Amino acid sequence: MEELLASLRAAGDPTRLRLLRLCAQGEWTVSELTQSLVLSQPLVSRHLKQLCDAGLIERRPEGSWVFHRLQRDGVSGRLARQLIESIPHDDPLVVRDNDRLAAVRRARAALAGEYFRANAARWDEIRALHVNDAEVEQALLKLLPPQDVDELLDIGTGTGRILELFGSHGVRGVGVDLSREMLALARANLDRAGLGECYVRQGDMYHLPWGTPEFDAVTIHQVLHYADDPAAAIAEAARVLKPGGRMVIADFAPHAVDSLRTEHAHRRLGFADGEMREWVGQAGLEPGEPVSLPGEALTIRLWPAQRRAPHLSLLRSA
C-alpha cells in the first residue's frame, strides 16, 4: 500500500506526468528531456529524482551520462503505464512534447548515422565474405522462437539489430555493449523502429550488470571473435540465464582470412564445434546441434545451448 501511495504522490504533478510519458518512449538523458520539455535542467533533474525515488523511473549511469526510462516491472511500473495510457493523445501540451521529442530523435539519428557512415566499410567488407544477414536472422528465429522468449539479452549488441529482430515480434530485450558510439547507433535504430520495450546499456560482457538470472534467452552474435577469453564470456552469459533458458552463439567457423585479424581486430579466426561444446558445457549449459550457413569465404555457425534444469543435474549425480 505504501509503495502505491508513494508512486501516486510522485506522479501527481503535471511536469512529472509529462516526464513519465517521455520516459515510456525510450531512454533519455537529462539534457534530452530538458530539450523536450523546454524547462531548466535543475528543475527536470529534481523531478526525475522524485520519480526515481518513487520507483516510477529507472536511472542508469553510462560513463558521464545518465539515462532514464520508465520502470518496467512491479507495482510502480504497472501504475505508470496505466497513468500514461489515460493521458489524452491530442492534449496540446502532449502534442508539443511529442514534436520536440521527435527533434531530439532526429538529432540522435544524425549523430549515429555519421558514426555508421564513417565505419560502414568495415562491416560491408566482412559481410561480402559470408551469407546474407537475413539467412542468419531466420536461423536465429528458428532456434529461438519469439513466442517462447519473454526477456532477451543480446551481448555485444552493436547496432541493436538483434533487438530489432526479436522486438518486432513482441519480445522485451536489452542489449549490452561497451562502445558508447555503437550504443548511440543502437538507440537511434530502436527509436526509429518504435521498439519501446527494447533498450541498450553500457556493460562489459565479462562482468554483466545483473546479480541473478534474469533472462530466458541470450544471444551472442558475431562478438566472440573479438574476445580475449571466449570461455569466460560464455560463462558470464550463462550466469544470468534462467534455468531452462536458451542461448545461441553465432560466429565464424574456423577460417584462414587473416586480414580479419590484421585489419579488423579479430582475435580469433573462427571457432571449432569441439571447443564451443566444451565451453558451453563448462558454463553449465547443454549444447545443441550446430547450424551451418556457408558463404563465399566464411561459414557462419550457430551454436544453440540450454541451461540445465536443476533436477537433471540431480538425476545424473544419483
Total domains present in the chain: 2
82, three cell numbers: 496505466
Is residue 151 domain-shared with residue 229, that is, in the same domain? yes
User: What are the CB-based long-range contacts (under 8 Å, 24+) for 81-90?
Assistant: 81/24, 83/11, 83/17, 83/20, 84/20, 84/21, 84/24, 87/17, 87/21
Is residue 305 domain-shared with residue 233, that is, in the same domain? yes
The Cα-based distances of 302 to 115, 175, 180, 248, 252 in angstroms read 29, 19, 27, 7, 9
Dihedral of the alpha carbons of 295, 248, 151, 193, in degrees to the nearest 10: -10
State how far the Cα of 185 lies from the Cα of 229, in Å rounded to an integer.
26
Question: What are phi and psi for residue 170, nearest 5 degrees?
Answer: 90, 10
In which domain, by residue range, is 50 found? 2-87
β pairing state of 291-294 and 299-307? antiparallel
Q: Is residue 112 part of a domain?
A: no
State how far the Cα of 229 lies from the Cα of 12, in Å rounded to an integer.
50
Query: Locate cell 522485451: which residue?
Result: 172
Is residue 128 domain-shared with residue 39, that is, in the same domain? no
> What is the CB neighbour count within 10 angstroms for residue 130?
22
State how far the Cα of 160 lies from the Cα of 73, in Å rounded to an integer.
22
Is residue 226 domain-shared with residue 304, that is, in the same domain? yes
Is residue 196 domain-shared with residue 78, that is, in the same domain? no
Is residue 60 domain-shared with residue 150, that is, in the same domain? no
Q: Give residue 115's identity as a one-letter amino acid code.
A: Y
β pairing state of 285-287 and 241-252? unpaired
User: Tell me, what CATH number does 176's domain have?
Assistant: 3.40.50.150
Q: Is residue 301 part of a domain?
A: yes
State how far the Cα of 176 lies from the Cα of 201, in Å rounded to an integer.
5
Q: Is residue 239 part of a domain?
A: yes
User: Tell me, what CATH number does 63's domain have?
Assistant: 1.10.10.10
Three-state DSSP at 221 gives strand
Domain termination site, one of 87, 108, 143: 87
pLDDT of residue 58: 87
Report DSSP state, residue 78.
H
Chunk the chain into consecutive blocks of 10 residues (it has 318) and report each block's average pLDDT, rounded to whole numbers: 72 87 87 92 93 87 78 80 86 90 84 64 69 92 96 94 96 92 88 91 92 96 87 95 96 88 80 94 95 91 89 42
pLDDT of residue 109: 75
The Cα-based distances of 101 to 111, 181, 190 in angstroms read 16, 21, 15
Is residue 160 domain-shared with residue 66, that is, in the same domain? no
This prediction's pTM = 0.74
State how far the Cα of 237 lies from the Cα of 251, in Å rounded to an integer.
16
247, three cell numbers: 542461448
Contacts of 310 (CB under 8 A, 6+ apart): 243
pLDDT of residue 310: 64
Contacts of 190 (CB under 8 A, 6+ apart): 26, 160, 163, 164, 167, 198, 199, 200
Is residue 126 domain-shared with residue 82, that is, in the same domain? no
Query: Locate cell 531530439: which residue?
Result: 104
> What is the CB neighbour count within 10 angstroms for residue 124?
9
Q: Is residue 93 part of a domain?
A: no
pLDDT of residue 46: 93
Q: Is residue 74 part of a domain?
A: yes
Q: Is residue 166 part of a domain?
A: yes
